[in-house]
Amino acid sequence: MRHELVIFDNSGVLADSEGPANRVLALELTAAGFPTTFGEAAERYLGTSFADLASLITRRTGRELPAGFQARFHERLMGEFARELTAVPGVEETLDHLDALTVPYCVASNDSSDRLAVSLGRTGLAARTRGRTFGSDLVPRPKPAPDLFLHAAQHFGVDPAACLVIEDSEIGVRAARAAGMTVYGFATLTPPSRLGEAHRVFTSMAELRELITALFPAPLQETRR
């Protein structure tokens, strides 16, 4: 089956946000009485929705996050994003490449729609993805359930088997696999060995453009929106 749609995760794939997000998360968890290093935050919680993060912490520690934790974390994170959030190097060129191949693309993230909008705005990608962004609050179950990816495919009228997903977390890779989609793993904070369920693993946007060229060798004459 010919591929017809590319679905990008946002944090760590389009936005260079996993560093700030996991740094803030580690600081806030530690301040709340759950000592956590940056490395532990990235290893345990990268790619999770906030609801799943809270559940994981409760299962790990036997205690619930304190009231107001999510609001404090969100406020501090938005401050970090305002100061330093940028697009992942090479993202603009990758989207240009897809445009040249006439391959449609969208964003499907475990971030809430509000946080996703802020992130895309700060990175300068909002105009390029307007009307093609899907946050986890739009579906009953976030990743690693397949719901969000299936929702995006349905929006475009594309068979899930014709979708290519770009993910940087184990959770995202599992969600794409569960949706019956091809998935390429972007090894940044997540080591390549932990993305082994992906069909391919890459380490730079330049490498991804080469993989896209191989998968979409000629411009699509017709695309379904």
pLDDT at 77 over 90: no
pLDDT at 218 exceeding the cut of 80: no
Q: According to the model, what pLDDT value does residue 220 have?
A: 55
Q: Mark whether 32 and 52 lie in a shared domain.
A: yes
Output the pLDDT for position 103.
94
Measured between its terminal Cα atoms, the distance across the chain in Å is: 18
Examine the domain organization and report whether 115 and 209 are in the same domain. Answer: yes
Q: Per the domain annotation, does 121 fall within a domain?
A: yes
Among 60, 84, 108, the domain boundary falls at: 84
Average pLDDT over residues 194-211: 96
Domain that holds residue 22: 18-84
In a domain, 167, yes or no: yes
Q: Which residues contact 123 (CB under 8 A, 6 or more apart)?
A: 14, 15, 16, 85, 86, 87, 91
Q: Is 30 helix (H, G, I), strand (E, B) or coil?
A: helix
6 pLDDT higher than 90: yes
How much is the mean pLDDT over the chain? 92
**Is residue 164 classed as helix, strand or coil in its secondary structure?**
strand
Q: What CATH number does the domain containing 127 carry?
A: 3.40.50.1000
Residue 74 pLDDT: 87
**Confidence band for 21, pLDDT divided at 50, 70 and 90:** confident
Q: What is the pLDDT of residue 50?
A: 87
pLDDT at 12: 92
DSSP 3-state of 72: helix
Q: How many domains does the chain have?
A: 2
| pLDDT band of 223, cuts 50, 70, 90 | very low
Q: Give the pLDDT of residue 219.
A: 62
Tell me the per-residue pLDDT of 99-145, one tens digit each, with 9 for 90 and over. Answer: 999 999 999 999 889 889 989 999 999 999 999 999 999 999 999 99
What pLDDT does 209 receive? 97
Q: What is the mean pLDDT of residues 61-66?
A: 95
- Final residue of a domain: which of 32, 57, 84? 84
Q: What is the CATH classification number for the domain harbouring 73?
A: 1.10.150.240
Per-residue CA distances from 148 to 54, 144, 156, 194, 195 (Å) = 20, 9, 13, 22, 19
Q: Are 215 and 164 in contact (CB under 8 A)?
A: yes
The pLDDT value given to residue 212? 95
- The answer on pLDDT for 225 being more than 60 is no
